[in-house]
């Protein structure tokens, strides 16, 4: 019985990452935006793949599954690996799973962002859990968060409704800004757009951002995050 050949991540990751980075920079330049962050989604990939990307300068990674993220953080710490990268949690997050994510991921200093905040209940739980960890470790920065918006209307994708008839997204932005600012830093809005309409998703997200900035006093300029698969 034959086994799959072992992948040399230091050979495969750098050229693919360089090609994708170039495409992202070109698209950003065409739209007059130089402040674009590429998040490498590392779910189901081994730590060796992440380290290969890190060795060529990439520092932002996205994880969907709590246990997988926690395991990677623990391995980095246990092996004392020199790693200045950061993880964003980009998967669906239930309130009853927050403590596991924060106590193991955030407390390590490796997870610094949750991009899938979808309710006031979840925001409150994150704020409380982060506060408990920071009470024992004051050196930790606030947890960065994004409010997830469902721009496609697909039931399979989570997030607040962007409809102007719904106060959901504005109310959540206001709650995080006014009631969770001690431990959470509201960065912006995130969406997982329809596979065949990333541009449309971004336009809806941009319109939602403008509404939030107008209706939530003092929330500042919100950043936008679009999760999209890039095919090589």
Whether 34 shows a pLDDT value over 70: the answer reads no
- pTM of model > 0.85: yes
Distances (CA, A) of 135 to 40, 121, 158: 31, 21, 31
Residue 232's pLDDT band, with cuts at 50, 70 and 90, is very low
Q: Which two tokens stand for residue 232?
A: 């090589």
Q: Which two tokens stand for residue 127?
A: 């704020």
Q: Which residue has the higher pLDDT, 30 or 113?
A: 113
Mean pLDDT of 29-38: 76
For domain 9-227, give the fold.
Answer: TIM Barrel (3.20.20)
Whether 43 shows a pLDDT value over 70: the answer reads yes
Q: Which two tokens stand for residue 157?
A: 């994708």
Place of tokens 């698969």: 229
DSSP 38: -
Average pLDDT, rounded, for the chain:
91
pLDDT in tens, 152-173: 888 888 899 999 989 999 999 9
- pLDDT on residue 192: 86
Domain assignments of the chain as residue spans, ordered by start: 9-227
The percentage of the chain sitting over the pLDDT mark of 90, rounded to a whole number, equals 75
Burial 140-176 (b: 16+ CB within 10 A, else e): bebbbbbbbbbbbeeeebbbbebeeeeebbbebbbbb
Print the SS3 string covering 157-224.
Answer: CCCECCCCCCCHHHHHHHHHHHHCCCCEEEEEEEEECCCCCHHHHHHHHHHHHHHHHHHCCCCCCCEE
């Amino acid at each position: 019985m034959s086994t799959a050949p072992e992948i040399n991540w230091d050979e495969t990751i750098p050229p693919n990452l360089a090609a994708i980075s170039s495409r992202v920079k070109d698209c950003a330049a065409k739209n007059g935006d130089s402040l674009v962050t590429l998040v490498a989604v590392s779910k189901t990939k081994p730590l060796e793949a992440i380290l290969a990307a890190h060795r060529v300068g990439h520092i932002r990674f996205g994880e969907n599954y709590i246990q997988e993220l926690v395991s990677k953080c623990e391995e980095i710490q246990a092996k004392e690996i020199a790693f200045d990268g950061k993880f964003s949690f980009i998967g669906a997050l239930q309130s009853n799973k927050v403590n596991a994510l924060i106590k193991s991921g955030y407390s390590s200093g490796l997870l610094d962002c949750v991009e899938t905040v979808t309710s006031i209940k979840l925001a409150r739980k994150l704020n409380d859990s982060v506060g408990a960890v920071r009470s024992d470790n004051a050196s930790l920065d606030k947890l960065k968060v994004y409010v997830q918006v469902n721009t496609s209307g697909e039931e399979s994708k989570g997030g607040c409704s962007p409809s102007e008839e719904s106060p959901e997204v504005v109310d959540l932005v206001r709650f995080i800004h006014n009631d969770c600012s001690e431990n959470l830093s509201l960065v912006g809005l995130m969406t997982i757009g329809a596979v065949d309409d990333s541009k449309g998703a971004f336009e809806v997200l941009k319109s939602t951002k403008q509404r939030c900035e107008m209706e939530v006093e003092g929330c500042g300029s919100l950043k936008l995050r679009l999760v999209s698969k890039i095919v090589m």
